Amino acid sequence: MGAERTDEGALSEGFLAQVGARVRSARTEQGLTVQQLADRAEISRRLLTQVEHGQANPSLVSITRVARALGTELTELLDPLRPSGAISVVEAGAEVLVWSDEGGSSAHLLVATSHGRAADLWRWRLEPGAGYQGLADPAGSQELFHVLEGELTLTADDDRVVVRAGSSARLLSDRAYRYANSGATACVFVRTVALSGAR
Q: Tens digit of pLDDT for each residue in 119-178?
A: 889 999 999 999 998 888 888 889 999 999 999 999 999 999 999 999 999 999 999 999
Would the pLDDT of 113 be above 90? no
Q: Classify burial at 166, counting beta carbons within 10 Å of its beta carbon; exposed 0-12, middle 13-18, buried 19 or more.
A: exposed
Q: Classify burial at 108, counting beta carbons within 10 Å of its beta carbon; exposed 0-12, middle 13-18, buried 19 or more.
A: middle
Confidence (pLDDT) at 16: 81
- Give the model confidence (pLDDT) of 14-37 as tens digits: 778 888 888 999 999 999 999 999
Confidence of residue 7 (pLDDT cuts 50, 70, 90): very low
Query: What is the rounded end-to-end Cα distance, in angstroms, of the chain?
Result: 27
Confidence (pLDDT) at 38: 93
Query: What is the pTM for the complete model shown?
Result: 0.75
Alpha-helical segments (H) within 30-73:
34-41, 45-52, 60-69
- Give the model confidence (pLDDT) of 33-69 as tens digits: 999 999 999 899 999 998 898 877 777 778 888 988 9
Q: In the sheet where 106-112 sits, what is the strand order?
A: 10-11, 96-100, 106-112, 120-126, 187-194, 142-149, 168-172
